[in-house]
Amino acid sequence: IRPFFLGWDCFEPFEAAFKLHFGWFKLTGTIEVHYMENIPEMFSSKKMFLYDRRKKDMNILDAKVHDSGSECTPGESKSQDKKERGNYIMYARATSGDKLNNNKFSVCSIKNISQVLEKKRGSCFVESGQPICGNGLVEPGEECDCGYSDQCKDECCYDANQPDNRKCKLKPNKVCSPSQGPCCTAECSYKSRNEKCREESECAHQGMCNGASAQCPTSDPKANFTACHGDTQVCLNGGCSGSICEKYGLEVCTCASVDGKDETELCHVCCMEK
């Protein structure tokens, strides 16, 4: 059966989604955010529809190794021979991932990482299971978490530099802390019922405070099969997760030209009869 073609050009939505998904990411413990500088250049030509996995892996590895004690490798070698081998993993900018040194650590990086592992080898890869006061996340055992003293602007919560019996706890006579959720005011009281705490999305209505909690209650989902993501998908149970094909009683399939040589076909959504 010839596929039913919906004609969606995937490039621009894919670019935006990719930047959102891979451009920024968080590491555990204290929140650390890394930006991949070279992402825009990957989309300079529409010939590149899929991100080179090697380059992504190198970026993520570089960021994680920062946590193991290795700083970025400075500068480039002046030697033409060494230049042709490429930069090491901890080079300050993203690398292509296809050169000899791109998947190797420099002698300097190995030394730095070894020093950290020698000191923490018994616990650095073991989950502590304990809350980390000061990371801005309210975890089990904490009443609130507004960060350290130089970060905390919260009048409701003791910061992480306070003694153990006070840090990450609510101050006396305070009902809540904004660190607990968007339904707590700066004056440490719950926001009134029906005050907006979450914007409407393609598949869910706006969230409204309930007057009894600092957290924003779950938003009511929009009707299933509501079109979303540029009319290429449909909402299912509040998430944009179904194919637009389902709305028409069809089944999603892979798009391909007759000769199989037109790569742009892969960036369309195609449906066929079940």
**Annotated binding-site ranges:** 66
What is the per-residue DSSP string for the chain?
-PPEE-----HHHHHHHHHHHHSEEEETTTTEEEE-TTHHHHTSSTT--S--HHHHHHHHHHHHHHTTT-PPBPS--S-HHHHHT---TTBSS---S-STTTTS--HHHHHHHHHHHHHHTTTTTS---S--TTSS---TT-S----STTT---SSB--TTS-TTTTTSBPTT----GGG-TTB-TTSSBPPTT-EEE---SSBPPEE--SS-SSPPPPPBPPTT-EETTTTEEEETTEEEEEHHHHTT-EEE----TTS--GGGGGS-EEE--
Cα separation, 179 vs 175, whole angstroms: 12
Cα separation, 57 vs 103, whole angstroms: 10
User: Annotated binding residues for Zn(2+), as ranges?
Assistant: 66
> Phi-psi category of 258—alpha, beta or left, where left has phi over 0 and alpha has psi -120 to 50?
alpha
